[in-house]
Chain A
Amino acid sequence: MRMEISDKQLGAAFFVLLLSPALRLFPSFAAQSAGKAAPLAALLAFFPAAGYLFLVLRAAALRREGEGLGELLLRAAPGRGGRFVLSLLGAWLLVYAGFVLRSGADRFIVTVYPDTPAAFFVLTMAAAALAAAFAPLRGAARCARLFLPPVALVLALVLGAALPRLRRENLLPLGPSAFGGLFVGTLGALDVLVWAVGALCLLLPETKKGAASFGRLLRPLAAGSLLLALLGLCLVGCFGAPLTGELSWPFFSLVRSLVFFRSVERIEALVVALWIFPDFLIAALFLRAARRALSLTLARRLPLLADGRLALPLCAAAAAAFALLAAPDAASLARWSRLYIPAANLFFSLVLVPGVLFAGKRRRRI
């Protein structure tokens, strides 16, 4: 019997995938731009993100049985243009997989292992993700279901322990200056939510028909917005917006300061280690999707890419090489994290892919 990805697995995958950019990008970016209004930015981002999810699912409904985003794009633009867009998308997926490997390494280096070279973490995670990328997509979705409870429990514990430490003056009053940056802060939250919706599309080829419905996915999207809002609330409420904006990983700095039940403290190493799960899932999923996209477009010229056993290690090697070469130091990683990656994500998610699909729909190709 062919097993397919269920709606519950899809919802869990959305939430787990969201966790990596949620901690990396959103808190400090929103604190810098929206200040005390950072939690509001996350809540406001829910509405455009829900609209985006609706459109994505409408587009996904146009696919045929077993088709993924790549095949749909090629049907929408069957010529060179479509292949070029799909190659670009494949390259972007590889870049993102490499970036996730590098930022995961940075998380370990900054919070737990300061003197360790990034290559150690990058290569270890690349090897683990490669092994997982050989498995069917439904394996990744099942992993998400397994990862969700421990990660959600830790999040609940940490945010719950932080709530009594909130300082009212760090969050209120919301003056005109806070609202001034709200738009930019909302863009930061939207970037995270839109990225996670886009990442869900990579699971489409094995998704059960009807599982990816708007009503069913709206709940995890709302949970994701709520999580971002809670992160903003707790971090800005505890540290204040200026300090939160200056920290690289404010969530883990918060974990570093928490004492549970007056006896358990300094558990940040465990929490950081837990964030391997989302990184692992993203890297494996993106490697597999990149391989699929590149084999659809370049397999004729590069027959190597048609064979998954060779193409996947090549993709993993390319992602690891990108991770090590593109961001050799913290400053270049910060540029990628705060500038290039969010901008490229918004371009692919909101402009390029929807544009091609829209054009294909207008010409009645899909």
Chain B
Amino acid sequence: MTEPTAEMIQETKLYKSWGLSDQEFQTISNDILGRLPNYTETGLFSVMWGEHCSYKNSKNVLRKFSNKSERVLAGPGEDAGIIDIGDNQAIVFKAESHNHPSAVEPYQGAATGVGGIIRDIFSMGATPIALLNSLKFGELDDSHTRYLAEEIVSGIGGYGNCIGIPTVGGEIAFQSRYKKNPIVNVMCVGLIDHDDVKYGKATGKDNLIVYVGAKTGRDGIHGATFASDEFTDSKSTQRSAVQVGDPFMEKLLMDACIELVHEHSDWIMGIQDMGAAGLVSSTAEMASKASSGLILELDNVPQRETEMTPYEIMLSESQERMVLCIKPEYEQNITDFFTDKMLDAVVVGKVTTDGQYKIYQRGKMVCNIPISGLVDESPEYKRISVKPDRIADSKEQFRPEIKSLEDVWLKILRQPTIASKEYFYKTYDSQIKANTVVQPGSDAAVVRIRDTKKAIAMTNDGNSRMVYVDPFIGGQMAVIEAASNLVAAGAIPIGITDCLNYGNPEKPEIFWEFEKSVSGMAMAGKKLNIPVVSGNVSLYNEFNETAIYPSPMIGMTGLVEDIDNVITQGFKNSGDLIYLIGETRNEFNGSEIQQLQLNDVKGSLSKINVDQIKDRFELILDIINNKLINSCHDLSEGGLAVALSEATFENKLGFKCEVNMPKEYLFSETPARFVVSVSKDNQRKFEDIIGNNGAKIGVVTDDNRMNIKTIGAEATIELSVAMSIWKEAISCLMKKN
């Protein structure tokens, strides 16, 4: 096949099918090149100017986030953000979405998502210590959804288990809007010494560009533009963009890169992983960061298939590949080093000073464009923003209807979003590396740092129902909820990475959701002093024109200074006193009970006093660090009734409580509340510290019962009944045929 000429591309508007607009094509031709781009060049622009690489629709909104704190060593713009944790150590973390690939080929889509995020971490020189994920599926009564859930979870486990990084936590939610467009967000956390940090830079004239890892095939070409496109039933041709992950290859690559950074740091100037948009995105960004130029020789690129065109080689998204920039005198050392690790490393280019991106194949120049034009001069759009009709202005709250409290309580425990996710997370190796102190199932996962007293707490959270009913407050709640998870474990929140999953931003209502929810998250992050250091945007999450709920995912990390203070959510001793910290209000819009009773969520959310919540977090950390409490659990979906139930399951201890509120309030979802248990010996000291911020509501019992009295009602549930309902709900649904 011969490639169309530049003139043909212009005439037939081929660029449009690759996602470039007429205006963008004109800018490239007239302002950047001063001529028409050829086939390869058009391809490079279309992928680099796609939303996935350029953030052209989102970057003006993303500027709302604060990425500064006294701990931030590197923020957005690198492969991952870096946060200081003292003692010359830092953590490196990032989250990424792989929604579209997972919809098409769930196992491989999810697996390669994990592979990609791990590369982002070790490409900075860090050792990955933990993985988390946030998954959103349709309802499990649908067989295709069950298939997607099973395969996505097994893809995540398959990759993470094989490479040997513990998958320690995350969230899973279910809602029919995700039926054909599941959300697959994965996060990786790495550990590094300050001196070992490597950036993805191609710097210094005549330094060499080295390609390491798997060979390049035609897989995933235009995966990056594909990620910026909506799904419809008819678009099956797009579906060739599937890549297969090879966790074994990645394990070799990871170990080699980490060893290289530790032992031979002087050989290399920069490392970058080849992720979305493969060779072009990685090399062009490396050059852009150093204001360098590059020459690439495509004949040297290891190829799995024959007759690949420059376009295909540059845009291939074959997995498990890295790019290094090295000093020429170490070329032999580098190739020998990688050969010993069973990996191919070949020189594919060199750094120049002219700022041009020059690519050759079989002696012929196939691309000559300014790197700044490709990377830095991508367009930026301020999309039109219109408030959707569904957004309610009235302050009216949904009123739950509760005839039998026991009945509603058990129904709530059976809801898949509430029920135990053990069926899924038991398939992840959460203990490998022997550092996991708090395993999946508690508020936050905690991983210790060997040879120190420190530990890192982490969580993935984002209640999209709340964001859907009120993007601004829902956005605030996402940050507050994640922070509450960490605080409940005894950690100080120190950083955020996000995955922002939305529908088509060209629709004004969708853009409004995006803008408002980011504002909410940014505002809460700033007030709580938790910087956003990395992230990812996934737009066009729609199927047949119906968008998903606006679904920002907050990946948050926290620092535990003394691992002896780590606390879990479960009650520990019969006789301990139970306290509820934080006021419970008449707040049911967007709640689990509203979903249960209306099969829908709606209404507005009440304003949140973030400053007051910040003080509450400090109070909780204070009582934890003074060793005054034995358990701490933050309240989220399902409210107090669910939080109390979950606190009983860990050690099979019951409770007897009495609250001064109507029975409906047991299911209120007022944010940033905590249930804690205190031994009687500490009661005095504890009450002195909390003052009127909390109230004693009951006592932990060993009679295998949950008993609660409200104003005008009382309920008693056998622990074994509640527990089996909560534990078995999801596996029962998954085993249906």
A and B interact: no
Task: List residues of A whose CB falls within 8 A of some B CB.
Answer: none
